[in-house]
Amino acid sequence: MSAIEVVEPATERVMAEVPRAGAEEVDAAVARAKAAFPAWRAVAPAERARLLRDLADAIEARHEDLARLEARNAGKPIGDARGEMGMVVETFRYYAGAPERLLGQTIPVAGGVDMTFREPLGVVGLIVPWNFPLTIASWKVAPALAAGNCVVLKPAELTPLSALELEVLALDAGLPEGVLNVVAGPGSVCGQRLVEHPDVAKIAFTGSTEVGRGIAAGAARTIKRVTLELGGKSANVVFADADLEAAAAAAPPAVFGNAGQDCCARSRILVQRSCLEDFLAALQPAVEGIAVGDPLEEGTQMGPLISAGQREAVASYVPEDAPVAIRGDAPDGPGYWFPPTVLAPVANDDRAAAEEIFGPVACVIPFDSEEDAVRLANDSVYGLSGSIWTGDGARALRVARAIDTGAISINSNTSVRVSTPFGGFKQSGVGRELGPDALEHYTDVKNVYYATEGG
Ligand code: NAD
């Protein structure tokens, strides 16, 4: 097996080498998962819950070194990485409550008793991206295991390290061999093999819309269940009656967090024209003050991009003649740095406003009326997250209902909570993660009819 050289994006140095899995390793992992499934699904619910809680404890015990590993490998600020590892622990604890609460129904019918059961699917293939490596893995692994499935997890080739640690921690925590398997290898080989594999019942994928489209098509051959968490180009709608200082202070982390490599990035800032100047004036110091630098330094707010290729792709959205209104700092020297950049004013159909940049570039798009704001917000192939800033409660709810998106916040730019559903409308995806909804995507409903009056 050849090796994957894992690069630290802040230094461009190789930080680790791990064996590169191929199709054979995927087949072996699926076979292990398939063999482990009958015993795992039969584990008593309270015992499965205890094992998931033990795994959460094991992750918590390694919280700081996992945060440092993720910060180095994904180039994210250590403070953010600590928060993410906290969410991983919380996610396993949340779904540890599920095995004993996977309830069916009894349905009134003639001649007998009818009941439903939520059955595990079997072996599920989980394919995750590099931007929130362990966090997004936990959103899939925890509900999948809680529902009684066995898992083959494929991390992104750029960031395999935390997933490989998770595999070891699961065994240490007492999960039976074969229940959680990790294959670190290229998407076009390992991911594709998982998608094609006849013994894999479902693919849960997070990544780009383009790859997601191929996965949906590939999975159709074996009628696999598929959930997709894809790209976004979310709108942050700021009305003139909002608390402008609060909206301007909250806007930069919502698009420059994780160096903009965030599917939820509110990268289209729609601002009512009558307050455009005031908003930009308040935004400027907030963007220029972002501390960009070494991910391991306390106080760093933005790290590098994940790779040279990603930096090149991001730079293509900021050509020489781009309307750069605000530009923050970025270090020189090694590392895939790109400064926080605000383009203003931008038309909603400009390439930078229409496509997911996945880097620290925000587009400010002026609008006139509420109707205009809703039309512009919806004029996108995506619909993942979004925000509305206004002092008018009725307007906030009206606009929240009118925008076609999976998650929207009012006077806040947050999207993700362990206990609430997250996922996309339109080309941002299919299905929901987190909250109780995720469990439905890792189970099938079985209906059982028991004749009590002679069949
Ligand atoms: P990507 O689509 O290139 O890769 C994602 C994963 O799919 C990786 O593990 C990759 O190896 C694998 N893959 C690649 N080609 C494959 C194939 N042919 N068959 C099967 N698997 C394959 O995405 P990325 O560049 O790692 O991540 C960035 C994208 O992820 C962005 O578009 C972003 O919006 C999206 N994303 C979405 C969410 C969400 O919840 N909606 C969250 C994070 C990231």
Q: Is 423 in the pocket of ligand 1 (CB under 6 A)?
A: no
| Cα 134 to ligand 1 centroid, rounded to whole Å | 14
| Cα 42 to ligand 1 centroid, rounded to whole Å | 33
- Structural tokens at position 7: 């690069």
Q: What is the pLDDT of residue 170?
A: 98
Nearest alpha carbon, ligand 1 atom 8: 156
Nearest alpha carbon, ligand 1 atom 42: 263
Distances (CA, A) of 70 to 52, 85, 413, 428, 440: 22, 9, 24, 25, 30
Q: What is the pLDDT of residue 454?
A: 82
pLDDT of 455 strictly over 80: no
| 364-396 burial: b if 16+ Cβ within 10 Å, else e | bbbbeebeebbebbeebebbbbbbbbbeeeebb
Give the atom of ligand 1 at the shortest distance from the alpha carbon of 424. Answer: 41
Q: What is the pLDDT of residue 296?
A: 98
Upper half-sphere CA count for residue 305 (Cβ side, 13 Å): 21
The tens digit of pLDDT for each residue in 67-93 reads 999 999 999 999 999 999 999 999 999
The tens digit of pLDDT for each residue in 346-376 reads 999 999 999 999 999 999 999 999 999 999 9
| Cα 208 to ligand 1 centroid, rounded to whole Å | 4
Active site residues: 229, 263
Give me the chain's average pLDDT, please. Answer: 98
Q: What is the pLDDT of residue 202?
A: 98
Check: CB of residue 409 under 8 Å from CB of residue 415.
Answer: yes
The tens digit of pLDDT for each residue in 326-351 reads 999 999 989 999 999 999 999 999 99
Nearest alpha carbon, ligand 1 atom 15: 187
pTM of the full structure: 0.98
Q: What number does CATH give the domain 3-230+428-450?
A: 3.40.605.10
| Cα 154 to ligand 1 centroid, rounded to whole Å | 11
Confidence of residue 1 (pLDDT cuts 50, 70, 90): confident
Q: What is the pLDDT of residue 69?
A: 98
Q: Does domain 235-417 have CATH number 3.40.50.1360?
A: no
- Structural tokens at position 415: 């999207």
Burial class (CB in 10 A: 0-12, 13-18, 19+), 108: exposed
Give the atom of ligand 1 at the shortest distance from the alpha carbon of 210. Answer: 2
Q: Is 122 in the pocket of ligand 1 (CB under 6 A)?
A: no
Mutate to test the pocket of ligand 1, among 6, 73, 190, 263 (most ligand atoms within 8 A of CB): 263
> What mean pLDDT is predicted for residues 54-78?
98
Q: Is 232 in the pocket of ligand 1 (CB under 6 A)?
A: yes
The tens digit of pLDDT for each residue in 173-230 reads 999 999 999 999 999 999 999 999 999 999 999 999 999 999 999 999 999 999 999 9
Confidence of residue 319 (pLDDT cuts 50, 70, 90): very high
Closest CA to 149 of 450, 440, 402: 440
Check: CB of residue 374 under 8 Å from CB of residue 223.
Answer: no
Q: Map out the domains of the chain as residue ranges.
A: 3-230+428-450, 235-417
Q: What is the pLDDT of residue 239?
A: 98
DSSP code for 176: P
Share of the chain above pLDDT 90, in %: 99
| Cα 103 to ligand 1 centroid, rounded to whole Å | 33
Check: CB of residue 248 under 8 Å from CB of residue 282.
Answer: yes
> What mean pLDDT is predicted for residues 158-182?
98
Q: Is 157 in the pocket of ligand 1 (CB under 6 A)?
A: yes
